[in-house]
Amino acid sequence: MTARMVDYARAAFDLIDHFDGAKTTDQVMSQLGSALSAFGYNAFLITGVPEPPLRVEAYFLLNGWPDGFGTEYHQKNYYRDDPIAAWCRRSIDPYEWSEAKYNPETWPRAATVMQLADDFGMKRGFCVPIIRANGFTACVTMAGDKPDFDPEAKKAMHLISLYAHAKAVKLMRMDAALRTDGRMLTKREAEALTWIAAGKSSWEVASIMGITERTVNKFVADAAQKLKARTRTQAVVNAIFAREIQIPG
């Protein structure tokens, strides 16, 4: 084993030790950002990866994107045409952004997304898909001008990403558990809407919850009314923002 390979492994395990001691998501953000910068990355994101037409913003766990990039990305709803996200939804293995192939002639908005990333210094990137037990896909994606794509560096990024995602999810669940006041949704409404957020159909949710499909639809409709949402998609987003349900994954 070369000295350089040892450095990669040491960087990964040193960061994991720091994650273990983190008490807040801000601490995880800071630790992860510092570690990734050593590998040439200046931006990162930990998020759920819902199927469009769901928007991605409500699924963000840790957002280390440049401010201007995120603003334009959200305003123009580039998520539905993001080739990196599309590739993530069907991949289980980490990949460089360049591996997410698309045809710019038939998918021009995908080319626009990638040009926007380039304009903000995110010229090359690496993405680690994370498949949760409920089947929902999340990811840790990172980018920079000239990131280190040495095979051993990518192995270190894979390990770091898994631990960072797990720590972020744990901290957010702890925060949610402490919040007990002001609930709008009943336990069953929240449960049904959480499964909808994970991409399940009413029929699938009915099977999971052991109730009829009609009852599932009523739970979701009642939740949407309480959340002042006109569609299921809007209900999911409003529920996550209101912290009535936890982000799947």
Calpha distance 201→222 (Å, rounded): 17
pLDDT at 237 over 60: yes
Name the pTM for this structure: 0.77
Q: How confident is the model at residue 3 (pLDDT cuts 50, 70, 90)?
A: very low
Q: How confident is the model at residue 209 (pLDDT cuts 50, 70, 90)?
A: very high
Calpha distance 29→197 (Å, rounded): 25
8 contacts: CB under 8 Å, gap ≥ 6: 150, 152, 153, 155, 156
Residues 183-193 pLDDT 10s: 789 999 999 99
Which domains, ranges and CATH numbers included, belong to the chain? 3-178 (3.30.450.80), 187-241 (1.10.10.10)
Calpha distance 124→9 (Å, rounded): 22
- DSSP class of residue 18 equals H
Find out whether 152 and 44 touch, Cβ atoms under 8 Å: no
Q: Kind of pairing, strands 43-48 and 60-64? A: antiparallel
- What one-letter code names the amino acid at 203? W
> CA angle, 205 as apex, 219 and 226 as ends, to 5°?
20
